[in-house]
Structure 1
Amino acid sequence: MAQLEIACFNLDSAIIAQRNGANRIELCDGFEVGGTTPSLQTVVKAKELLTIEFYVMIRPRGGNFLYSEEEFEQMKTEILQFQKLNVSGFVFGILNPNNTINKIQNIELVELAKPFPCTFHRAFDEVENVFQALEDVIACGFQTILTSGQAQNATEGMQRIAELVSKSNNRIAIMPGGGVRSSNSALIQQQTKASWFHSSAITDNTVTANPNEILALKSSLK
């Protein structure tokens, strides 16, 4: 059975996701920039309210995925802070100026996060050589890659996602994300053979997940 992760930009979404069958939550802030690190207060509250796994986004700001030394230190501090709360895992990704994977910094964060698993987020969709990047992310120790297949959304990127699933050969989970909805999730699963799927399940102009959409996503995935 395929697994469903819901990107939650507030605690209401997290509760909705849990109640309606999500397997995991990606907790973040900054909806307008595609996700940033949530506040400590939000993570503390989430730990009180959630019984399913939740991964915390570690991203100091929107924009590119090159970070200053100060921003990198902030990312390390946040990982250590959230580790103490016993969250389930972390989501981050750092690139080099030439859009390759910054192995040195990513390895440092993955090692710091242990024993908690890490997902490399959609910074992956900006890399130049996607298959070299796949090998680099695996070498860094990540357990999951969130990707739209370098397209605007996962539907347009299905072929590339399928190639990544094949080349990963079960060494890392390839998780389609970006425009994944109940209306296209079955097709994406059929075409890519992915086992994890990522969606915000937002269907209106709010930033809160729709419970009916989560239920429909769950029922669409085999």
Structure 2
Amino acid sequence: MAEIPLLGLEIPAFGALAALRVAALGATRIELNALGSYGEGGLTPSLEDLKQFIFASAQRCPLRIMIRPRGLASSPAEAGGLSKRDFHYNAEEFDIMEAGIKEFKGLGLLDANKGDGFVFGILEEDELEEYEGHIRRQRCRVDKARCTRLIQTARPFKCVFHRAFDEIVSCDTPALDEPIRPSWETGLEDLAACGFDGVLTSGGLGKAINNIEMLEKIIQKAQALQIETVVGGGVRTANIGDITQRLGLWMRANSVYLHSACLRGNGSEDIDPEEVQGILAQLG
């Protein structure tokens, strides 16, 4: 009987010390973010964070570097959570993202053979379009030109499109008579065209456990496009069994990863060891 592969657990860590801790606790992959940026949805860490982690790490698991120059939108109308405005970057911000990738690569500390890579995502600005005599806003979409450029800069390292994808999923509210393909489906094809290796998603806005039906569609389409689906968004010990069972993830372990911050839930960036160990125990 063939052995069923284990599901991997990716943990976002905020700062080098947190990364070292989650590595010691058994994370199979780490998403490295700047210290203090959890409330901003994760921002680009410092070069020193990477150096400190690499030189002090006794257990070297694959590392993904977040490339995000700023987080939550400052507009009061968009307060209280991420919005698509958080993933639109001007020319100066894009240059910062590209320069950041070059600087991390230039350190010579990342290892493509270990699965190291980068996490980023850029959406195009909404534009007005005319449809059957009506003016409406286009649905948000992947900025293919700039994402492709960042991927080319990052190679040979893997690249993951982060939860900006959930904004694309949330755009699927056209009138029933509009012959438009779902945004999430077009979005995945755009990611494949750019060259992304994976997509981090909760299947739309909110928690993964509440978006199972959409996640099922995304995973199937992503598999066909050879894109890894990283399922995140409120993944905890209390629901990870339900998520894995309902999505049949045990049989998709080669193309799906799980993502959980495993924080204590007190508003800090403190890792909860019991949460990490509890998830790993359920993953076998």
- TM-score, normalised to structure 1, is 0.95
The aligned residue for residue 53 of structure 1 is 62
What is the one-letter code of the residue matched to 2:158? P
- Cα distance in structure 2, aligned partners of 1:9 and 1:105: 26
The aligned residue for residue 103 of structure 1 is 144
8 A contact 2:219–2:229 mirrored in 1: yes
The alignment status of 1:67 with 2:89, answered yes or no, reads yes
- Cα distance in structure 2, aligned partners of 1:45 and 1:185: 31
Of 267, 271, 275, which aligns to 1:213?
A: 275
> How far off its partner does 1:12 sit?
2.7
The alignment status of 1:146 with 2:208, answered yes or no, reads no
CA displacement 1:20-78 (0-9 Å, x = unmatched): 21111000021111101011211221221231111110000013111111110100110
Of 41, 53, 56, which aligns to 1:34?
A: 41
The aligned residue for residue 3 of structure 1 is 8
Of 107, 120, 135, which aligns to 2:189?
A: 135
Any stretches of 5+ residues in structure 2 without a counterpart?
Answer: 1-5, 73-85, 111-115, 127-139, 172-182, 250-255
The aligned residue for residue 76 of structure 2 is none
CA displacement 1:76-106 (0-9 Å, x = unmatched): 1100110123331100000001310000000
Structure showing greater relative contact order (alpha-carbon pairs closer than 8 Å, 6 or more residues apart): 1
- Cα distance in structure 1, aligned partners of 2:240 and 2:42: 22
- Cα distance in structure 2, aligned partners of 1:49 and 1:139: 37
After TM superposition, where is structure 1 displaced by more than 4 Å over at least 4 residues in a row?
Answer: none
Any stretches of 5+ residues in structure 1 without a counterpart?
Answer: none
> How far off its partner does 1:136 sit?
0.6
8 A contact 1:12–1:208 mirrored in 2: no
8 A contact 1:9–1:208 mirrored in 2: no
The aligned residue for residue 92 of structure 1 is 120
CA displacement 1:148-167 (0-9 Å, x = unmatched): 10031111112111111111
SS in 1 for 2:148: helix
The aligned residue for residue 51 of structure 2 is 44
What is the one-letter code of the residue matched to 2:65? V
Q: CA RMSD in A?
A: 1.3
Of 223, 230, 233, which aligns to 1:178?
A: 233
> How far off its partner does 1:189 sit?
1.3
- Cα distance in structure 1, aligned partners of 2:121 and 2:71: 12
Which protein shows a greater Rg? 2
> How far off its partner does 1:203 sit?
2.0
What is the one-letter code of the residue matched to 1:74? I
- TM-score, normalised to structure 2, is 0.75
